[in-house]
């Protein structure tokens, strides 16, 4: 099983990948984590990549996921799709979108990080808190246009990990949390309004943010 953690910068992907792996190992799973290639690249080069360097980073991220040693669960701390999103946002370049979307077909679960964590600076890699919301909106619109099911993860620390595991649980092999099978006729489940403050359900997320996403994307496209 392959789980992709996606989201704007400083939304807890790296921490969540480690926390999920620890919990899954405690449940008897063998787990592999694929670190973020972009982070390694920025630390090595001391800068962010140029437009021409985006493709090689995305393809190396994909290669590492594909060649990961056999495990029950593989968690990737971002995927090529995020590189494609940032290439579009920063350079208006969609050249690697097709590759990133094709690669994303290998993932069983896609988790999108909610924007509920405080932004933290990270040397050369981050663009600033002002980039979070537009990147998040562009990511969600891309997933929906490509008909890629996803769940949104909120919470801090242990709660964030538990919410992520609950969202991924139907596909986790032998997971004791997978008490019910997913409905093949629906991409998302519907949760009661009382659950919305800790919701990991994409359909609920769409009800809350659809208008905001559409407005921001239209404003961004018109400004180009």
Average pLDDT value for residue range 113-122? 82
**Phi and psi at residue 23, in whole multiples of 5°?**
-65, -40
Average pLDDT over residues 177-192: 31
Asked if residues 29 and 168 have their Cβ atoms less than 8 Å apart, the reply is no
Average pLDDT (148-177) is 82
pLDDT of residue 118: 83
CA dihedral 53, 44, 69, 105 (to 10 degrees): -30
Q: Is the four-CA dihedral 34, 39, 45, 51 of positive or negative sign?
A: positive
Domains (ranges, CATH) in the chain?
Answer: 2-223 (3.40.50.300)
pLDDT value of residue 128: 64
pLDDT at 170: 72
- At residue 160's C-alpha, the angle toward residues 202 and 67, to 5°, is 80
- At 179 the pLDDT is 31
**Tens of pLDDT along 61-116?**
999 999 998 899 999 999 999 999 999 999 999 999 999 999 999 999 999 999 98
User: How far apart are the C-alpha atoms of 170 and 205, rounded to whole Å?
Assistant: 19
| Coil vs helix vs strand at 47 | coil
Q: Report residue 208 as tokens.
A: 């809350």
């Amino acid at each position: 099983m392959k789980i992709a953690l996606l989201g704007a910068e400083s939304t807890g992907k790296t921490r969540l990948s480690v926390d999920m792996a620890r919990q899954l190992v405690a449940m008897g799973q063998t787990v592999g984590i694929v670190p973020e290639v972009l982070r390694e690249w920025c630390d090595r080069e001391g800068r962010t990549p140029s437009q021409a360097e985006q493709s090689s980073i995305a393809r190396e991220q994909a290669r590492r996921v594909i060649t990961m040693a056999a495990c029950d669960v593989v968690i990737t701390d971002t995927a090529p799709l995020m590189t494609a999103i940032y290439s579009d946002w920063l350079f208006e370049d969609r050249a690697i979108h097709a590759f990133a979307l094709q690669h994303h077909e290998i993932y069983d679960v896609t988790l999108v990080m909610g924007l509920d964590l405080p932004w933290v600076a990270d040397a050369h890699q981050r663009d600033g808190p002002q980039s979070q919301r537009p990147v998040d909106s562009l990511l969600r619109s891309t997933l929906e246009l490509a008909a890629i099911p996803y769940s949104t993860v909120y919470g801090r620390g242990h709660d964030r990990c538990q919410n992520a595991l609950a969202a991924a649980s139907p596909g986790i092999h032998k997971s004791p949390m997978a008490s019910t099978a997913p409905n093949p006729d629906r991409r998302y489940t519907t949760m009661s309004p009382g659950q919305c403050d800790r919701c990991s359900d994409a359909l609920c997320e769409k009800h809350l943010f659809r208008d905001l996403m559409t407005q921001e994307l239209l404003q961004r496209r018109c400004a180009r």
